[in-house]
Amino acid sequence: MSSITRYKNDRRKSNPCPEKVRRRPSKKSKTLHPNNDEEDDVSKSNTSNNSNTHVANSEDRDENYEVEVDEISVETKPPGLTIKGIKEKSEESWLYEQIKEMVQRKLWRVCKFVTGNADRLKVTERILSLLKYDSDSNPKAEAKWIEDNAKACNKAVNEIRGYSVGEIKKKFHHYWVYNNKTLPPLKTLKACMNRTIDPDNPEQMLVWKFWVDKILDAACANKFDWNPSVRYYQTILQASDGEGDTLFNMLMNPSTEAWAMICIENYYEAWPKHFEWKVNNPHSKLPVSKKNRILGEGEEAFPKQKWTDAHGGQQVFCGWHVDSLTLYNKYKADNTAARALAKSTELEETILTTLKEDNGIVGDKPRGKKKQSKADLKQIVDTLDF
């Protein structure tokens, strides 16, 4: 069978300029998250197809033909949604972690509040002297370091003080749970600080034991200054890190006892109500802020703290009222004077003996935790199969 060839002249005529332009249906664009910045490849391809729309069944398009703008459908991507009011939490720098650790280990023994710019610079200078640097000292570099990190040092002191408040609250909650939902009398706690406890009064001696064994440990804001290896072997006056005789070397300064008393007195009315609320709402977070707490039927608002406010901020006197700072200085002076009395030494030795007996401690020094050498390891039982 002979092949049939169709020539150009035999083809049917085409209409080069149709009245209506036919377009291909566009594909559905892929749905993206409003905050997704990636470009939609499908949408781009559809847009390019629409812009290059061709006329069906035509060989040569008329150069004079123009498509009206109203007839062109262009797909546009909606603008992304941005959430306002949410800030990403910045990671703490390694330098701030070093500053905070030095405040917790050393500076907290002598500094509980930073009440002004002069104190801030003084505290920052002291922290710089406690930190160890490989390079030589440079007065200009040190002055710039103090200026750049003064705010961070102040922040570190505030955070350590907040940590100590939480630790003292834990001790009081434990006491509240195991003592019929009651707290030790505030008057007796002040007697502990002033060393006016009656040794013949069993109830006062129990509070004195609670003060030395629990409260002072929490007031140190760390786990090493007043840990069992210290408080079960040394009195308050004897406790020292062994590196000197300054206040920085004393493990239990008068300022620490004064801070404990100020903290307790500030939250003494509010904490029992917090404990009761937590018993009734064990799986809920305590709403300390007034804005976050919705009172239920029959509920009462928490009592206010004596000198602090949850919305008071940390800029002016670290969030504490001036009266509390004045009383804090008075408590420091009272405790310093009380420690010089012979009765203070007797009370400290008596409670040290009681703590040793209660914890089964024998000896004047804690046992060393020397690691056993490999040469001393002797095989007692052979359990291997080869």
CA atoms of 234 and 231, how far apart (whole Å): 5
Scanning 225-376, the segments in alpha helix (DSSP H) are 228-231, 254-267, 270-280, 322-339, 342-358
Strand partners, 240: 250
Give the CA radius of gyration of the chain: 38
Note whether 61 and 54 are within 8 A (CB).
yes
Instruction: Report the share of the chain in percent with pLDDT over 70.
Output: 67
pTM: 0.71
For residue 61, pLDDT over 90 is answered with no
For 104-115, write each residue's pLDDT tens digit. Answer: 999 999 999 998
The pLDDT mean for the chain works out to 80
Burial letters 144-162, b for 16+ CB under 10 A, else e: ebbeebbebbbbbbbbbbe
Q: Shortest CA distance to 271 belongs to which of 363, 174, 367?
A: 174
For 72-117, write each residue's pLDDT tens digit. Answer: 444 555 555 555 555 555 556 889 999 999 999 999 999 999 988 9
Segment 111-139 shows an average pLDDT of 88
Which residues, in sequence order, are CB contacts of 1 under 8 Å at separation 6+?
Answer: none
For residue 375, give the DSSP letter.
Answer: G
Query: Phi/psi of residue 291, each to 5°?
Result: -70, -30
CA atoms of 211 and 217, how far apart (whole Å): 9
Dihedral angle, C-alpha 11, 16, 21, 27, nearest 10 °: 50
For 300-335, write each residue's pLDDT tens digit. Answer: 888 889 998 765 555 555 688 899 999 999 999 999
Q: Shortest CA distance to 40 belongs to which of 48, 29, 51?
A: 29
For the chain, the distance separating the N- and C-terminal CA atoms, rounded to the nearest angstrom, is 89
pLDDT of residue 69: 46
Segment 266-290 shows an average pLDDT of 87
